[in-house]
Structure 1
């Protein structure tokens, strides 16, 4: 299944993917993890939870699953699940390289991940991903590109990525930080032998952080599939943390704050796949109500008042503790 087919699927839930950041490692910055995950976060406990979520997502029509080298054992958990589900040959699998998980399965490590966008890091992590996912990997993304990332200017790296693309792997990138729009536009200029290198972009976009929208629309118009991450703002848009205007609209629609927050993104014409970062099956089911949420113009206007200055948003995100 190609990304074009995924993004244009007629089944509404196929526009929702499942990201594994919240369940591939014992600690993450999402709010509410102390309630959402078992107190004893062993490898087996999180493997079981990941498989439970993958089963539920697949049964509901979700066909894109998103992992990363830095999401603990997310690639391993996903690979294990794929081996037990030969019927799931229509799944599109994405992962990312550029960050290394360094916490050693500890919840209180000083540093949980280290960023490195060098060619050497790509070669090492590509081999690690290949060992786990093999030919089930469809999309490989540079993790959290910023305008100053050497991945935007390293021509040797670009050549190696183009070789992978020639062998059938889709090459993409993700962005983070207050200058996401600048990073997206710079990545759109990266070419190899006159051809644009990247076919997908994955960016943070939600009711609080909207600054990348114009650049994401440009990427969509240039032919890239847009994947939206952190649609729940790491739990800030979910109960009980959601701002009052969002809670009010949720009450009016009869859906959860999470479904309303994701519905706002699904209305964007450039959004190809919107990721659920659910940590429990109940959260996933609620997230998947998003395509059914009907928002009128007045409700949309109220939700648009929630947008923050991107510098404020990313400063607050950086202060979230690793639960």
Structure 2
């Protein structure tokens, strides 16, 4: 396991996303969230394998409670990354946002059973303009740090395009960005390199596009029908190179030089072991990476935006 140094913390190359431990989540999830005993066994397997970074949020059902109970009697050394939001609405005042922020942060602190969250990201919503984020969130971050509620701050973005201009902001030390083989705009535009060069800690999520890469065409709703030719092409490319779709999708992001950690969830212990195998897998050949880059340029926005799948 590789680690990235971040203000005294060691961030594992693979972070465990815990939304599946707190609620039913994912297009391919048919069993729902595990009970707490099984969640603890999943966390045990993760830590024993070298994973020391755990991603959660107040909106992830019981995820924070599960982590709080699990780590209550564990020695220090693991990194908890959580998120806050204040349910943005047009015209919201800074003071209203602050009231809502303190409520959710205090709930997170209680659930996680800590006095300070090491890394806390603002959880941007799909309809929230970035101008509003920049108007309000820096003030929230300053106040949260003044109260000692959080140590480091950042943004969890809904769209990868929202990352534009964030390299110049001193408030956002860490960024969590959706990215996968079909959503590569930040790479082709050179923005991912620019953000990392500015010292941002880069987490990438949605590597498997919430499980879409593993769905059969017949299981897709009308909104996702345009994804079929792209999914079929990915499967063909994987077969031609003697690998699985998971190996192709994971390896493409894993080998990017400007990514610090991949946030991957798990519903059971076996998925942790599978993700570790993917982490140790061979590099993708450069010609295959080039083909995937060209493929991504033609993907409709609705395919790479889970928030639009039900519409």
The answer as to whether partners of 1:23 and 1:49 remain within 8 angstroms in 2 is: no
What are the equivalent positions in structure 2 for 1:181-260 lying under 5 Å apart?
181-182=163-164, 185=165, 187-190=166-169, 196-213=170-187, 214-238=190-214, 240=216, 243-251=231-239, 255-260=243-248
The answer as to whether partners of 1:208 and 1:313 remain within 8 angstroms in 2 is: no
Deviation at 1:56, TM superposition (A): 1.6
What's the counterpart of residue 222 of structure 2?
none
What are the equivalent positions in structure 2 for 1:243-282 lying under 5 Å apart?
243-251=231-239, 255-282=243-270
- Structure 1 gaps of 5+ residues are 8-13, 100-113, 191-195
Q: Report the RMSD for the aligned CA atoms in angstroms.
A: 3.0
- Structure 2 gaps of 5+ residues are 218-229
Q: What secondary structure is seen at the aligned counterpart in 2 of 1:305? A: helix
CA distance in 2, matches of 1:161, 1:188: 21
What are the equivalent positions in structure 2 for 1:25-40 lying under 5 Å apart?
25-26=23-24, 28=25, 30-34=26-30, 37-38=31-32
Matched, 1:91 2:71: no
Which of residues 128, 133, 136 in structure 1 aligns to 2:107? 128
The answer as to whether partners of 1:258 and 1:287 remain within 8 angstroms in 2 is: no
Deviation at 1:181, TM superposition (A): 3.1
Of residues 309-318 and 141-150 in structure 1, the stretch that sits farther from structure 2 once superposed is 309-318
TM-score normalized by the length of structure 1: 0.76
Per-residue Cα deviation, 1:13-62 (whole angstroms, up to 9, x for no partner): x3111111233113x3x22112xx25xx6xxx443343232122112111
Per-residue Cα deviation, 1:81-112 (whole angstroms, up to 9, x for no partner): 1125x24x22111100016xxxxxxxxxxxxx
Deviation at 1:148, TM superposition (A): 3.2
Residue 176 to residue 248, structure 1, CA distance change in 2 (3 Å):
same
Per-residue Cα deviation, 1:117-161 (whole angstroms, up to 9, x for no partner): 922221111111111221473111100265435331126424314
Q: What secondary structure is seen at the aligned counterpart in 2 of 1:153? A: helix
Deviation at 1:293, TM superposition (A): 2.6
CA distance in 1, matches of 2:57, 2:245: 27
What are the equivalent positions in structure 2 for 1:68-217 lying under 5 Å apart?
68-84=57-73, 86-87=74-75, 89-98=76-85, 118-133=97-112, 134-135=114-115, 137-144=117-124, 147-148=129-130, 150-154=132-136, 156-163=139-146, 169-177=151-159, 179-182=161-164, 185=165, 187-190=166-169, 196-213=170-187, 214-217=190-193
Matched, 1:59 2:38: no
CA distance in 2, matches of 1:290, 1:306: 22
Deviation at 1:207, TM superposition (A): 0.7
Residue 74 to residue 163, structure 1, CA distance change in 2 (3 Å):
same
TM-score normalized by the length of structure 2: 0.79
Q: What secondary structure is seen at the aligned counterpart in 2 of 1:306? A: helix
CA distance in 2, matches of 1:189, 1:59: 37
What's the counterpart of residue 223 of structure 2?
none
The answer as to whether partners of 2:18 and 2:63 remain within 8 angstroms in 1 is: yes
Divergent runs of 4+, >6 A: none
Which of residues 6, 18, 30 in structure 2 aligns to 1:3? 6
The answer as to whether partners of 2:208 and 2:250 remain within 8 angstroms in 1 is: yes
The answer as to whether partners of 1:178 and 1:311 remain within 8 angstroms in 2 is: no
CA distance in 2, matches of 1:310, 1:152: 29
Deviation at 1:275, TM superposition (A): 0.8
